[in-house]
A and B are shown apart, each in its own frame.
Chain A
Amino acid sequence: QQPVQSPQAVILREGEDAVINCSSSKALYSVHWYRQKHGEAPVFLMILLKGGEQKGHEKISASFNEKKQQSSLYLTASQLSYSGTYFCGTATNTGGFKTIFGAGTRLFVKA
Chain B
Amino acid sequence: GAVVSQHPSRVICKSGTSVKIECRSLDFQATTMFWYRQFPKQSLMLMATSNEGSKATYEQGVEKDKFLINHASLTLSTLTVTSAHPEDSSFYICSARAGDSNQPQHFGDGTRLSIL
Q: Which residues of B contact A (CB under 8 A)?
A: 4, 6, 34, 41-44, 46, 49, 57, 93, 95, 100-110
Q: Can you list 14 pairs linking A and B with CB atoms under 8 Å apart?
A: A29-B101, A30-B101, A32-B105, A41-B93, A41-B107, A41-B109, A42-B93, A44-B105, A87-B43, A91-B102, A97-B101, A98-B46, A99-B105, A101-B44
> Contacts of A42 on B, CB cut-off 8 Å?
44, 93, 95, 107
> Contacts of B104 on A, CB cut-off 8 Å?
32, 44, 47
> Contacts of A11 on B, CB cut-off 8 Å?
none
> Contacts of B106 on A, CB cut-off 8 Å?
44
Is residue A40 within 8 Å, beta carbon to beta carbon, of the partner chain?
yes
Is residue A77 within 8 Å, beta carbon to beta carbon, of the partner chain?
no
- Minimal Cβ-Cβ distance residue in B for A97: B101
Number of interface residues of A (CB under 8 A): 25
* Interface bits A28-47 vs B (CB < 8 Å: 1, else 0): 01101010000011111001
- Asked whether, in the complex, the Cβ of A103 is within 8 Å of the Cβ of B102, the reply is no
Instruction: Return the 7 tightest CB-CB contacts between A and B, nearest first.
Output: A97-B101, A41-B107, A91-B101, A44-B104, A103-B43, A101-B44, A41-B109
